[in-house]
């Protein structure tokens, strides 16, 4: 059990990916525009922040087209998702850096045998290469991505699934949603985790504090959690 200075306790952690482990949001935005602009369906960075951040690729493309009164067949949607994924892979090959404190926190949790998972709206093929680059691929017992769910955040499906999988892998740990912390950076992510009954530590990596008030607590950096009391 991890104890924080504000009295919060947790027996397991579920991390968001984009905006928490690495700052891939500008890279995703760039990849979306490379796909959408030739189709006259692009959107501004502010629109991405206000509307699309927190969506998985599927829902982002549906939203981009429906906003302009356009429809997509299932095949067209899959083609767009695949094209964007390939462009994103090309972009991240140039290298990517983690947010301060996050790799140290993940390794510390792992060293103390605290169950940890990822719940992300990104594709698994986007996540795995980055985890490998950062040297933390073996730290997560469970990884839930857009490939595993039918609804993206703010729907609670991804956090519920991540928690259920963690609990199944730790039957002796008596894990409960109320003693599970989701680490998030977006209002949609907070709503998703709250809907699954989890506590939420929000980090101001992507939004200012006033957008994150539904979280259990808000921190400017995950470095602040490194001094928590570990068993």
Decide the pairing of beta strands 199-203 and 217-219: parallel
Helix (H, G, I), strand (E, B) or coil at 221: coil
What pTM, to 2 d.p., does this model score?
0.81
Distance of CA 196 to the CA centre of its chain: 15
Q: Are 110 and 116 in contact (CB under 8 A)?
A: yes
Q: What is the pLDDT along the chain (231 residues), one digit of tens a residue?
A: 888 766 778 999 999 999 999 988 888 899 999 999 999 999 999 999 888 887 889 999 999 999 989 989 999 999 999 999 999 888 888 778 899 999 999 999 999 999 999 999 888 988 998 999 899 999 999 999 999 999 989 999 999 999 999 999 998 778 999 999 999 999 999 999 999 999 999 999 999 999 999 999 999 999 988 887 776
Q: What are phi and psi of 136, to 5 degrees?
A: -125, 20
């Amino acid at each position: 059990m991890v104890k924080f200075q504000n009295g919060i306790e947790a027996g397991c952690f579920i991390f968001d990916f984009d905006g928490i482990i690495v700052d891939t949001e500008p890279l995703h935005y760039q990849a979306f525009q490379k796909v959408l602009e030739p189709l006259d369906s692009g959107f501004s960075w502010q629109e991405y922040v206000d509307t699309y951040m927190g969506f998985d690729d599927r829902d982002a493309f549906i939203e981009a087209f429906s906003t302009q009164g356009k429809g997509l067949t299932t095949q067209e949607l899959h083609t767009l998702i695949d094209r964007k994924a390939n462009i994103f892979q090309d972009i991240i090959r140039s290298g990517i850096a983690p947010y301060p404190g996050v790799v140290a926190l993940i390794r510390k949790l792992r060293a103390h045998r605290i169950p940890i998972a990822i719940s992300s709206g990104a594709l698994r093929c986007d996540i795995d290469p980055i985890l490998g680059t950062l040297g933390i691929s073996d730290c997560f017992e469970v990884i839930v991505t857009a490939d595993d769910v039918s609804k993206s955040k703010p729907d609670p499906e991804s956090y519920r699934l991540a928690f259920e999988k963690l609990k199944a892998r730790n039957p002796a740990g008596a894990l409960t949603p109320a003693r599970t912390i989701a680490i998030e950076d977006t209002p949609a992510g907070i709503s998703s985790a709250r809907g699954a009954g989890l506590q939420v530590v929000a980090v101001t990596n992507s939004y200012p504090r006033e957008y994150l008030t539904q979280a259990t607590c808000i921190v400017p950096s995950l470095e602040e959690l490194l001094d928590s009391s570990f068993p």
